């Protein structure tokens, strides 16, 4: 049995923080894991910027409520779930992900939690360190074979841990730093890569 493990932002939905930056005019929130590989450094930057601008969680949730899946994402998820188990492995937060998961038929998602105080985001709690890679490793320990896709620095350890991993619409800097990882630029291409990988795995 195969498990398909997908990143969320940049693979199934637009980047949440970029959408927040565009809606609020706070350009310092445009940085993502495509730009900064150290997740703690990135989140500390975001916490500082939110405090400086007194950006409330309710405002961020309002932006997310107006977002939706990327064109073709729901159909791709449906295609995957007809064939294999699907788990979303994301470095977002349950506080952010819930309305987006509702729009995609509530696939299983493993992510993190925010620390809030009076509608302000004051910190965050990782579910566990390197959780994407550890989840894939655990699935393999349960005798599942794993197919994985992501777009950013924080996905690459997951992709290399999986039986098969591919980048989906990554930025040029990630492609150049990880030339060993195959690249898909649309859902049809990713579906084809996953099908070929599954056939190869089953033929072993």
Residues with a known catalytic role: 7, 9
The answer for residues whose C-beta is within 8 angstroms of residue 53's C-beta and 6 or more apart is 24, 26
- The answer to whether 202 is a known ligand-binding residue is no
Task: Tell me which residue has tokens 């509608």.
Answer: 119
**26-44: buried (b, 16+ CB within 10 Å) or exposed (e) per residue?**
beebebbbbebeebeebbe
- The answer to whether 9 is a known ligand-binding residue is yes
- The answer to whether 22 is a known ligand-binding residue is no
Coil/strand/helix, residue 175: helix
- The answer to whether 151 is a known ligand-binding residue is yes
Written as six digits, the tokens of 45 are 């930057």
Written as six digits, the tokens of 109 are 């998602």
Burial of 86 (0-12, 13-18, 19+ CB in 10 A): buried
Q: Report yes or no: 13 and 69 within 8 Å, Cβ to Cβ.
A: yes
- The answer to whether 7 is a known ligand-binding residue is yes
- The answer to whether 35 is a known ligand-binding residue is no
Helix intervals (H) in 125-177? 131-141, 156-161, 172-177
- The answer to whether 132 is a known ligand-binding residue is yes
Binding site, residues? 7, 9, 15, 46, 90-91, 132, 151, 154
Binding site for Mg(2+), residues? 7, 9, 151
Binding site for substrate, residues? 15, 46, 90-91, 132, 154
């Amino acid at each position: 049995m195969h498990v398909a493990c997908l990143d969320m932002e940049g693979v199934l939905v637009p980047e949440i923080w970029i959408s927040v930056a565009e809606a609020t005019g706070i350009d310092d929130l445009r940085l993502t894991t495509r730009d900064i590989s150290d997740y703690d450094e990135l989140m500390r930057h975001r916490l500082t910027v939110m405090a400086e601008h007194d950006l409330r969680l309710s405002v961020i949730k309002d932006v997310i409520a107006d977002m939706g899946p990327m064109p073709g994402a729901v159909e791709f998820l449906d295609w995957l779930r007809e064939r294999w188990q699907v788990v979303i492995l994301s470095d977002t937060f349950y506080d952010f992900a819930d309305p987006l998961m509702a729009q995609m038929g509530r696939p299983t998602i493993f992510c993190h939690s925010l620390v809030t105080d009076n509608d302000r985001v004051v910190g965050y709690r990782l579910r566990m360190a390197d959780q994407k890679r550890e989840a894939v490793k655990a699935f393999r320990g349960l005798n599942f074979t794993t197919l994985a896709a992501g777009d950013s620095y924080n996905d690459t350890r997951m992709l290399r841990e999986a039986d098969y991993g591919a980048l989906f619409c990554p930025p040029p800097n990630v492609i150049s730093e990880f030339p060993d990882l195959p690249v898909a630029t649309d859902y049809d291409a990713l579906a084809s890569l996953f099908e070929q990988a599954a056939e190869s795995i089953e033929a072993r």
